[in-house]
Amino acid sequence: MPTLEEIKKRKLEEMMRLQQDKLQQQANEQAQQQIEYIENAVRQLLTKESLARYGSLKTAHQEKALQLLVVLFQAMQKGQIQGKIDDSTLKKILEQLTPKKKDIRIKRI
């Protein structure tokens, strides 16, 4: 039979774990709200074609879409974006975000 101290210790550990879970959930919700705010701000700058490209990118590569959002939002805050972003401009930005692959060729002698 567990002693009173063991019961108190287990109860305290359980309460601490629940508190940590609650804090982590709040942090996740806050991060999601921030992403939604940035996405709404950036969406206003995109044309229909570039918005469709962003939607496809978000579906296929969420990390890359998030990276694109951050770059566009920072540029927007710095005042580097004038007018709407069309599809060709969005393609150029995506190419700059994608690391270049090295072409390895093997020659047989």
Contact between 108 and 86 under an 8 Å Cβ cutoff? The reply is no
Contact between 50 and 12 under an 8 Å Cβ cutoff? The reply is no
Six-digit token pair at 89? Answer: 């401009």
Task: Give residue 83's region: left, alpha or beta (phi > 0; psi -120 to 50).
Answer: left
CA distance 77 to 12: 46
What angle (nearest 5°) sits at the alpha carbon of residue 70, between those of residues 66 and 71? 115
Predicted pLDDT at 107: 84
Return the domain boundaries, the chain: 4-83
Predicted pLDDT at 29: 92
Please tell me the chain's helix, strand, coil percentages from 3-state DSSP, rounded to the nearest 5: 75, 0, 25
Predicted pLDDT at 96: 87
92-to-50, 86, 98 alpha-carbon distances in Å: 11, 10, 10
pLDDT per residue, tens digit, the chain (109 aa), is 778 888 888 999 999 999 999 999 999 999 899 989 999 988 888 899 999 999 999 999 989 999 999 999 998 888 888 888 888 888 998 888 887 777 788 888 7
Report if pTM > 0.85: no
